[in-house]
Amino acid sequence: MSQTWLTTSASALGRGIERGEIDPVELTETYLAAIDVNPFADRIYARTTPDRARAEAHAAAARASAGTRRSLLDGVPISWKDLFDTAGVATEAGTALLKGRIPTKDARVLENASQAGLICLGKTHMTELAFSGLGLNPITATPPCVNDHGAVSGGSSSGAATSVAFGLAAAGIGSDTGGSVRIPSAWNDLVGLKTTSGRLSLEGVVPLATKFDTVGPLCRSVEDAAQLLAVMEGGKVADLSGATLEGVHLAVLNTIALDDLRSDPARGFEQAVAKLAEAGAKITHIDLAEVAEAMAMSAVLFAPEGYAVWGDLIEANPDLMFDRVRVRFESGRDVSAIDYIAASKALDEYRARYAASTAGYDAVILPSAPIMPPNAARLLSEPEFFDAENLLALRNTRIGNLMGLTALTLPTGVPSTGIILQTGPGTEERLLRLGAAAHQALT
């Protein structure tokens, strides 16, 4: 068994299987063995699915031998955030409120991935009901950041990111409502794709705020992100060949996104922008009032959706939740329908203005997060610190959710910092081509 497989991209593993150099069964056993011995495994995986993984691996090996592989990633083992339904396996979304919840069928995106031959290693820990960007969960488990084991890994797809960063999955699948794919990807030096709302099915996905909920991969390369998007959608893989930054026009978003950056995120972003310019991109700074106006309405838009879904269950069992997450849900309780509808209508206007203001640029870029991963013990002991850091963690990523965009975070080279490229809704293929060229320039 080769330990180098544990740090190899999912696409490269798939090519190894295609060439007959990697046996899917041996590959899967390598990952299962790594999970067994990793000291953080119980903080990363909520539960593993070894029987399913082995059965899928044997089927993938048979297809490889017969020359009937279903996709490049056929036979590659990945992890799934614990809000994707898995038939016969508990799916609890990181909360005691859903303890013992066992779905009877797979989520649609998991079903599609399985049909393409991907292997399910298990379900990863997450923030309760996906409503925090930090990844702190004293109810189930808090995965550590790969660069600082005393710090949180980012949320809410905390285990999805760390399963990859610690070499316990070739890629992870998470969800992003306000930054939950991009924050843990950035803090663990991964590539993370936030898809356009509605692009990937939410059937069988435990909801938070369906107006903003999206599904996306956390992985080692932009190619992996493109492959995973295609298999979850059951569609065609984006063509990344010949991607270049020559002649590309990128806009740095000044509004809010550059405010109060801490030293490492600022350094990482500045270095990344310089490298993109060296690779041929033209860089322009822009100010967008509509971003500030939309951000001011966040509390009226996100929390009421979450409370509408989970309020009755939370009110019936308040002591089962971590209080800082429960308070976030409860903040949506008293928002009036009039205010919510007015904010939703205004958001449509802001989105149209944003689209018009950015139409002349190939992508808008910004730091993935203004802060570094905070210390887990301090977050747990200081409620005001938790609240302040959580809002800061999600500040920049939330812009993409509010504007209805697709967005890609890439590692800058400074540990636990990322740069986001975001483009208009439904433009994942164009974004991934830009991202492939940008990632090459940054590495």
Nearest to 80 by CA among 39, 52, 40, 38: 52
Beta-bridge mates of residue 251: 284, 364
Q: Is 319 exposed, middle or buried (0-12, 13-18, 19+ CB in 10 A)?
A: exposed
CA distance 306 to 330: 9
Helix/strand/coil for 299: helix
Length of the chain: 443
Query: Residue 141: CB partners within 8 Å, gap ≥ 6?
Result: 42, 43, 44, 46, 125, 159
Q: Name residue, tokens 């859903």.
A: 98
Q: In what order do the strands lie in the sheet with 77-81?
A: 45-48, 119-124, 77-81, 172-176, 214-219, 191-194, 406-411, 418-423, 363-367, 249-253, 282-286
| C-beta separation of 140 from 46 below 8 A | yes
Please report, as a single letter, which amino acid is at residue 54: R
| Catalytically annotated residues | 81, 156, 180
Query: Is the backbone of residue 385 left (phi > 0), alpha (psi -120 to 50) or beta?
Result: alpha
Within 10 angstroms of residue 39's Cβ, the number of other Cβ atoms is 9
Sign of CA dihedral 221, 439, 165, 196: negative
DSSP state for residue 367 in the 8-state scheme: E
Distances (CA, A) of 3 to 10, 13, 26, 409: 14, 12, 11, 27
